Amino acid sequence: MNEDEIKQLQRQVSKLQLEAKLRKSVANELERQKNLVQQAKEEAEEQRAILEVASDRLSKYLSPQICDQILRGESFSGIQNARKYLTVFFSDIVNFTAISEKMDPDELGSFLNYYLTKMSELALHYGGTIDKFIGDSVMIFFGDPVSEGAQKDANNCFNMALAMQEFLASNRIAIQQKYNLPEPLHIRVGIHSGNCNVGNFGSEQRLEYTAIGRVVNIAARLEQACGVDSILCSQDTHELIDNKEVFSEETKIFAKGVTEEISTYSWNAVR
């Protein structure tokens, strides 16, 4: 082998060594990228799990529709509200104060949690936004943050109220026995429709997503004026409801804090 052949061989060896080094470098980089992708995937899964836990916890304190929009970052950052047409629902348990005074605190807590859970399930089934619980009282509204139109919202609200009354009628004895209630469980319901201010109210430190205004006040007054096992709707709501045959004739009432008479229509359970 002459000198030129040796040099050529050396160049080939050097080339092979360089190619080997490059292949090793590429392999190392591919492995590094693979590890980074796996790490990113694991971190994403971890963040998703954390988000699911946070969402689940948040949904215990907020209506799911509002919780979803907060998690998506949609217009829930700060004090802001808008004028919207809502159908507002109020309910409470008849004689709840007397019932609660006769019950063991633990049994009362278990019963109230059960009752509010069932009412919440029906509210969510019909698309209602659960505003708040005040003891045994429940406030729900339809029309925000998601609306199907004023007429559909009103019908959904009324059908929800019917479902609640029907559920209690079917389970009244069983509930009384299970939770040792001193008397059977009955509720009254008030529903009114109209323009409300709805959105974030409060301070920069603490906000509450709620609806306020005359419509809310009238819905609450209708609930107070409602009969046992009944649903009392205002004329504004009644005009939007499809099945008007289930209501009694128009009745005018005076409600506390409302200057003029209110035209109402009542659905009454068959006893």
Reported as a pLDDT band with limits 50, 70 and 90, residue 271 is very low
pLDDT band at 71 (very low <50, low <70, confident <90, very high): low
pLDDT above 70 (res 13): no
Nearest to 240 by CA among 156, 165, 160, 163: 156
**Rounded CA gap, 157 and 86, in Å?**
10
**135: which residues sit within 8 A by CB, 6+ positions away?**
92, 96, 112
* H helix or E strand, kind and range, residue 40: helix 3-59
pLDDT category at 61 given cuts 50, 70, 90 is low
Banded model confidence at residue 81, pLDDT cuts 50, 70, 90? confident
Spatial CA neighbour of 91 closest among 208, 199, 230: 230
Q: What whole-number distance in Å separates Cα of residue 25 and Cα of residue 18? A: 10
**Dist. CA 57–CA 94, nearest whole Å:** 31
> Residue 43: is its pLDDT beyond 90?
no
Q: Which pLDDT score is estimated for 76?
A: 57
What is the fold of 81-268? Alpha-Beta Plaits (3.30.70)
Single-letter amino acid, residue 239: E
Tell me the per-residue pLDDT of 232-267, one tens digit each, with 9 for 90 and over.
999 999 999 999 999 999 999 988 888 889 999 999
How far from chain centre, in Å, is Cα 265?
A: 28
Domain positions in the chain: 1-60, 81-268
**Residue with the two structure tokens 């059977």:** 184
Instruction: Kindly report the pTM of this predicted structure.
Output: 0.78
Q: Which pLDDT tens digit goes with each residue over 107-151?
A: 999 999 999 999 999 999 999 999 999 999 999 999 999 999 999
199: its two tokens: 């959105």
**DSSP letters for 67-103:** HHHHHTT-S-SSS-EEEEEEEEEEEEETTHHHHHHTS
45 versus 251: which is more confidently predicted?
251
Average confidence (pLDDT) over 23-47 = 80
CA 129, CA 207: separation in Å to the nearest integer? 17
Range of weakest confidence among 18-22, 43-47, 95-99, 147-151? 18-22
Task: Say how far apart CA 161 and CA 140 lie, in whole Å.
Answer: 10
Q: What is the pLDDT of residue 46?
A: 79
